[in-house]
Each structure stands twice: as structure tokens, then as C-alpha cells.
């Protein structure tokens, strides 16, 4: 497993207010396939002692991981995490339902802040997909 500062990145811990996120999942493999398809990134399955989790690819941006913890899933309330799908929100939204998710609010403008769609992921977590354009 990577060291904490390497995992979060020095840029993130020095300049960003949000530096990491954990997404609870019921099925790690299913969730990894969902995020790989919708975000068009790789999810790396890692293990520490007897605990397995999935780290979302985050080369030079904020990162997070998929944590097996079914009891923590809440699709109707709580924090709304915005996931970056810049310049490909339409493609991302077409990947949601075939990979076990659900579209709650279709793509819509959020004024000068771009566009978003609200979805449930394959595990039932509520998320926002965000793009600066509606492409």
C-alpha cells in the first residue's frame, strides 16, 4: 500500500480543501467496474493486511477509494460528491445504467459552474457527475 502523503499527493494536501473521499460499496468488483466505465479511469484493487479496497486513478487530482462497507451506503441524503467527467458528461451518463446505476437528475446547467447530473452508483450511493461543458 502507498504511504498516506503519496496516496493523497502533496499538491492535494497543500492546496485543496477536500483531499480524499471514501465511497462505501457492497460489492467491490461491481463498484470498480462501474467507476471504470462511468469515469473512464482505472480502479486499482489493493490490499492491506486482510482488508481489500479500490483506489480510483488520480494522477494529479483529488483521489478516493471504494471501501467495502454496505451499512454506510446512503443514496438519499448526506454529502454529495462531485465526480469529474469534464468534456464527456454525455458519454458518462450513457454508462450509468448499463453498469448498474440509476440516473436521478439528467444533465442540467448549474449556471456559471458548468453542468451536472445526479446519479446513484452501482451500490446505491448518490453522486453528481460534473463537467464544465455539456459535451
Q: State how far the alpha carbon of 72 is from the alpha carbons of 45, 67, 82, in Å.
A: 20, 10, 18
- What pLDDT shows up at residue 9? 54
Identify the segments of the chain with pLDDT beneath 70: 1-13
- What pLDDT shows up at residue 132? 93
3-class state of residue 110 by DSSP: coil
88-116 burial by CB neighbour count: b if 16+ within 10 A, else e?
bbeebbebbeebbbeeeeebeeeeeeebb
- What pLDDT shows up at residue 60? 77
- What pLDDT shows up at residue 5? 43
Domain boundaries, the chain: 4-131
Q: Write out pLDDT tens, residues 66-93.
A: 999 999 988 888 889 999 999 999 999 9
- What pLDDT shows up at residue 4? 45
pTM: 0.85
Which of the four CATH numbers 3.40.50.300, 3.20.20.210, 3.30.930.10, 3.10.180.10 does domain 4-131 have? 3.10.180.10
Amino acid at each position: 500500500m502507498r504511504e498516506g502523503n503519496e496516496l493523497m499527493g502533496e499538491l492535494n494536501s497543500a492546496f485543496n480543501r477536500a483531499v480524499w473521499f471514501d465511497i462505501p460499496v457492497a460489492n467491490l468488483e461491481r463498484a470498480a467496474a462501474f467507476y471504470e466505465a462511468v469515469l473512464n479511469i482505472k480502479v486499482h484493487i489493493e490490499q492491506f493486511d486482510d482488508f481489500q479496497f479500490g483506489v480510483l486513478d488520480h494522477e494529479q487530482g483529488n483521489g478516493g477509494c471504494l471501501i467495502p462497507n454496505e451499512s454506510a451506503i446512503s443514496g438519499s441524503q448526506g454529502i454529495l460528491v462531485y465526480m469529474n467527467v469534464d468534456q464527456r458528461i454525455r458519454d458518462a451518463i450513457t454508462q450509468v445504467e448499463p453498469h448498474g446505476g440509476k440516473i436521478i437528475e439528467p444533465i442540467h446547467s448549474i449556471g456559471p459552474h458548468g453542468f451536472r447530473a445526479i446519479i446513484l452508483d452501482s451500490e446505491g450511493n448518490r453522486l453528481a457527475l460534473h463537467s464544465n461543458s455539456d459535451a
